[in-house]
Amino acid sequence: MRLAILTAASSLLMALVAAAPAPAPELERRQLLSNVLGEVADLVDGISTQATSPAQVWGELLTALEKPTATATPTSPAQVETALASIYSATPTNLIVNAIEMVQNSLSPSDLNDVLTTYSAGCNSEVNINLRSPSRTIFPKKAAADAPYSLSEAQLRQVIQIPAGFTYGRVPPVVLVPGTGSKGCLTFRANFIKLFQGSQVADPVWLNIPGFLLGDAQVNAEYVAYAINYISAISSNKNVSVIAWSQGNLDTQWALKYWPSTRPIVSDFISISPDFHGTVLAYIVCPGFPTLTCVPSVIQQEYDSDFVTRLRLTDGDSAYVPTTSIYSATDEIVQPQQGTGASAFIKDARGVGVSNNELQTICPGGLAGSVVTHEGVLYNPIAYALAVDALTHSGPGLVSRIDRAGLCQLYAAPGLTVADVVATEGNIPVALAAIALYEPKVVVEPKIKGYATY
Ligand SMILES: *[C@@H]1O[C@H](CO)[C@@H](O)[C@H](O)[C@H]1NC(C)=O
């Protein structure tokens, strides 16, 4: 009797299980989208957690970035460090949440509602008139072994901004390459541009790559390859140097690899917060990925993406020219970023000269080696001193030649103000807004180009 009841009960259960509806992907999707927005709605009033499409989620995230009003204004670089240390004290899972906290702490421009327009004009213009013709043929190819460009020469040349006062080789030219979600002037105006312009050390030009570098990184690399050859060719064929930030380093390394004509004319490659191995945190800028879509170049910067894997193949993880890599173990976007396993760590299989410089190892206990963000390396005093050292000696920058003890006590390079530090930090909220606005977003990375076979 008892057995019969049990049997009946269990077959009822079986029937219930069989009748249960199959997992509803649409409901799960909505739940995930609403979870993504929930974290943001906790921080900002009036954000709806009900979204049925990725486009709606990105719209709400953008609104959340635009809404907060700043409640505190830092008055010294050290106060910026304190605010950043508190914002990034936990391992970030959703960088949009951190970016909103940066807005609340005045570490952001106040005009995030129209970033695509705001940062496409003036010194960030993608359309520049560069009339000087190169002194030798550099397009469609400078050397037979160079990869083919997918862009026209006009497209490649117009993104280069050459400021008034550029000396065309009297002072050594340096090409500044921005990072994901940014423009050349936006990235560098409050650090390297400000410090180098008018100096005898380096004469900066910068690249305003279309799409805020959010499109295919292989195409972004084409702009770098062309700019190296063009700037040298209009500067009496003198060598140039390259300073890149973040993804700009992957693009530069890709350019050096697949456009070998660039290698003999680059004196120094100075890498600020590079992610030569991508980052295990790629998707903190795309919460909910792959349910929520993402921008192509972020998917390409996933730790083991096809793009990163191809770049590193055949000693692509080794320097092609003297390379000075400078990075922070507390990078909130690129991880791992410590020791020989750091994404920034570059090898030297070709014996061209490399220095790998982790700020926390160089300045233990010092402000320059405290909580330094991905963007903070751009204004870091050790980073600037190493860049100057590299540019004024042959081979990479060396810590043994700089005033390590003195510089470790500072949070920003001498000559930079708290306003410069804040302006540089503003790259992150701007990048997040640019990511929210970028279309088309995708779920798989762009195909590797046909030329990249090695
Ligand atoms: C130009 O750069 C190449 C490659 O780094 C280097 O070997 C060469 O010495 C540089 N030339 C000058 C004049 O600095």
Q: Which amino acid is at 107?
A: L
pTM for this entry: 0.93
- Residue 268, H or E segment: strand 266-272
Q: What is the Å distance from ligand 1's center to 278 Cα?
A: 29
For ligand 1, atom 10, the nearest C-alpha belongs to 267
Q: Which domain holds residue 235?
A: 122-437
Question: What is the reported pLDDT for 2?
Answer: 38
Residue 206 and residue 157 in one domain: yes
Considering only CA atoms, which of 338, 344, 312 is closest in space to residue 325?
Answer: 344
Q: Are residues 236 and 355 in the same domain?
A: yes
- At residue 18, the pLDDT reads 44
In a shared domain, residues 104 and 154: no
Q: How far apart are the first and last CA of the chain?
A: 74
Within a domain: residue 112? yes
The arithmetic mean of pLDDT across residues 130-148, rounded, is 97
Question: Which spans in 105-142 are helix H?
Answer: 115-118
Residues 308 and 433 both lie in one domain: yes
Does 246 qualify as catalytic in the annotation? yes
The amino acid sitting at 350 is R
Q: Does 451 reside within a domain?
A: no
Q: Quick check: is 331 catalytic?
A: yes
Q: Supply 86's token pair.
A: 């508190």
Catalytic residue among 268, 374, 389, 420: 374
Out of 182, 241, 246, 271, pick the active-site residue: 246
What CATH number should be reported for the domain holding residue 305?
3.40.50.1820
User: Does 93 map to a domain?
Assistant: yes
Determine which one of 146, 216, 268, 331 is catalytic: 331
The whole-number average pLDDT for the span 194-223 is 98
- Regarding whether 401 and 260 lie in a shared domain, the answer is yes
Residue type (1 letter), 5? I
CA distance linking residue 48 with residue 38, whole number of Å: 8
The percent of residues in the chain predicted with pLDDT above 70, rounded, is 94
Number of domains in the chain: 2
22 and 133 part of one domain: no
Tell me, yes or no, whether 77 and 169 share the same domain. Answer: no
Ligand 1 atom 13: residue of nearest CA: 239
Dist. CA 442–CA 325, nearest whole Å: 31
Model confidence pLDDT, tens digit, residues 155-200: 999 999 999 999 999 999 999 999 999 999 999 999 999 999 999 9
91 with 178, same domain?
A: no
242 and 273 housed in the same domain:
yes
Establish if 442 belongs to a structural domain: no
- Per-residue pLDDT tens over the stretch 263-296: 999 999 999 999 999 999 988 888 788 888 899 9
Q: Is a pLDDT exceeding 60 seen at residue 430?
A: yes
Q: Please say which residue of 79, 96, 116 terminates a domain.
A: 116
Let me know if residue 154 belongs to a domain. Answer: yes
27 with 173, same domain: the answer is no
